[in-house]
Structure 1
Amino acid sequence: MNSPIVVLGARIIDGRPSRMLKFRLRTALEVWRREPAPVVVSGYEEAGVMAAWLAAHGVPETSIVLEPLAESTNENLERSRALFPDVPYLTVVTSGFHVPRTKVWAWHLGIPVRMVAAPTPKASRKRNYARELVALPHSAARVAWRRFVRRALGR
């Protein structure tokens, strides 16, 4: 089996994928066409919308795995890995600006990943890259704190 393709969720608007999410889904569809594998759609409110989009674009429903509980990047990774604990790695599709933060969480969680960066819509690039200037250090600090606490407690 090829590595499961995990598509990280993004905003939905009126029950449809936002432009950002469509870019992620299109990228996942391209990967799936080259390397057919289960496609995990991960995100609290987004999973069902993402599954419907992929099915409408040719991915068989039997290849789509819903993970509708995750509410953060780390939960997306943890829950997706739990669905496929024995594969060597997960192929994770997210927006290019989000790749570094996703790698930080994957490293911390010990989840091997192959990252595939989806394009970011031009209209939202500045805002999203600017947000990552805060979000990436915040995640790195959370990871450092968790590791510190784990060591301090001897776990």
Structure 2
Amino acid sequence: MSILSLIISSLATCVLATSKSSSGDAAAGAGPIFIGTAGFGQNLSTEFHYSQAVRIGNYLKVSGQGGWDPQTGELVTDIATQVNNAFDSLTLALKAAGSTNGLADLISINSYHVGDLAFGLGNVTAVMEKRIPKVLPTWTAVGVTGLAFAEQLVEIQAEAWIK
């Protein structure tokens, strides 16, 4: 079975499922498992009423992760630091969902950039080349006029296949 077929099957399971859990202890196939992360991600989840990720079988969808420090929430205005912080936050969400491969489990990312899109793309490319040199996830990059916080320059949403 192809990965696409498995993803479609997993999504169908999500649509048909009636149970949900806010912790990672539900049995696989029992429906979506909503996942939180420690640190600043937990603060955001509590304040804005959302999950950092949702896992359905092997499929994981991660909410957009901004360029803030994943532990303190500090948001510096340097794009390279923000991109690295966003990937650090993605890594935390992947681990919280049970990934042992971290970013190597990524199958798709969407990145949202304020300001010079080409400069943002270069920074995301550099991080992916360094952190996941053998993984080529699909990628959609979008230029936007603003994100959730005034100083935020990047946000990265991701999907993964956890083996």
TM range (shorter): 0.3 to 0.5
Higher helix share: 1
Higher strand share: 2
TM-score w.r.t. length of structure 1: 0.32
